[in-house]
Chain A
Amino acid sequence: MKGMTLIVKQVTRLIIGFIFLYSLYLILFGHLSPGGGFVGGVTLACGFILLVLAFGKKFFNNLISDRATTIWDCLGALGFLAIALIGYLGGAFFENMWVEQGQEFALVSGGLIPLANIAIGIKVGACLAGVFLALTVLGSKSDTHSGGDS
């Protein structure tokens, strides 16, 4: 799977930073403005997919391996579960702790909600990037071997 033309590559170079920045904004400010972990994670995966489509498979292999997406996926899921277990310090599963700490309407507010957003963002971004990888990069290699028959 090769990359695209020079125009696409140049536009991708210009725009990819803003895409990742916007995805981080969606994840981190999910408890203050519209957004959240799921949307931010999907935007993150969109950035990776744009990189793969524009620059090709070789670039992606330098950036991140297919094993790494699986590992980040599992880490995000386990992190969300761990945040749920932290609630036992306050008495119950999913108890939202540390609500009183932190300024109202500030970035550090809402107790455990921002941490849960970060965990969900990592999980969704990694798993969608991994599925795209499985569908295109890992599938195309054996297509050429077996003569394109699925």
Chain B
Amino acid sequence: MSIIPSLLLLSIFLILAVIVAIEARGLLSTVISVGAAGLVLSIIFLILGAPDLAITQVIVEVICLVLLIRATVVRHDTTFTAKRDRFIIAVCLVGGGIIIAITYYAFQSMQAFGAPLMNLSQEYLSQGFQKTGAANYVMAILLDFRAYDTLGEATVIFCSIIGAYAVIRKVGRIKK
């Protein structure tokens, strides 16, 4: 496995970019850091062999960057600082530690990654082309085997976009 070191480097860069995005003063640097994190994530997808996901990540990241910079940053820089409450930080740390410990003990009982439990996916992989006729298995699974999921996603996008469109727009539609 020769791709592991590059993946480690990219993951470290990703975590650093997210930390910078949280800690930076000013909305513009935060938005740019989030964009850098997204681009690194798309490179990770590409190295791991998922070109569909990589293309989606790059394009959605670009459009998010444009929307955020054009629509929010230009208007008001609503940065404010406050003192941190030590008690809340301690509670968060203890809670996170408890969750990590429970997860560790839960993962002990799981099987090895990917090896067993392939009953359902194995049928998709072996008979997907005969059943759907689509050469791209990602699309075959998204739009044939798991079409209900795609319908739900489309409904979620539709409702959120319509709601955002109704809330955000400031000029009302004039009745004639």
Tell me the A residues contacting B by CB distance below 8 Å. 26, 30-36, 38-39, 42-43, 45-46, 49, 53, 67, 70, 73, 77, 80-81, 84, 94, 96, 99-100, 102, 104-105, 109-113, 116-117, 120, 123-124, 127-128, 130-132, 134-136, 138-139, 141-143, 148, 150
Contacts and interface: CB of A to CB of B under 8 A. Distances in A.
Contacts of B131: 96, 99
A66 to B, nearest CB: 8
Given A77-B154, A131-B165, A142-B170, A105 B135 contact: yes
A64 to B, nearest CB: 15
B92 interface: no
Interface in B141-156: 142-144, 147-148, 150-151, 154-155
A116 B104 CA distance: 42
Interface in B18-71: 51-52, 55-56, 59-60, 62-63, 66-67, 70-71
A46 B63 contact: yes
Contacts of A110: 132-135, 139-140
B147 A84 contact: yes
Interface string B103-140: 00000000000000000000000000101111110111
A26 B59 CA distance: 12
A43 B158 CA distance: 18
Given A102-B133, A113-B134, A124-B157, A34 B168 contact: no
B132 A111 contact: yes
B59 A46 contact: yes
B139 A138 contact: no
B52 to A, nearest CB: 5
28 contacts: A30-B136, A30-B139, A31-B136, A31-B143, A32-B136, A33-B135, A34-B52, A34-B138, A36-B52, A36-B136, A36-B138, A36-B139, A39-B55, A39-B56, A42-B59, A46-B59, A49-B63, A73-B161, A80-B154, A84-B151, A99-B132, A102-B133, A104-B135, A127-B161, A134-B165, A135-B70, A143-B75, A148-B75
A81 B134 CA distance: 20
A2 to B, nearest CB: 13
B169 A134 contact: yes
Nearest to B78: A150
A87 B52 CA distance: 26
B52 A104 contact: no
A50 to B, nearest CB: 9
Interface in B65-96: 66-67, 70-71, 75-76
Most chain A CB atoms below 10 A, which of B66, B67, B143, B155: B143
A31 B134 contact: yes
A96 B169 contact: no
Nearest to A100: B133
B102 interface: no
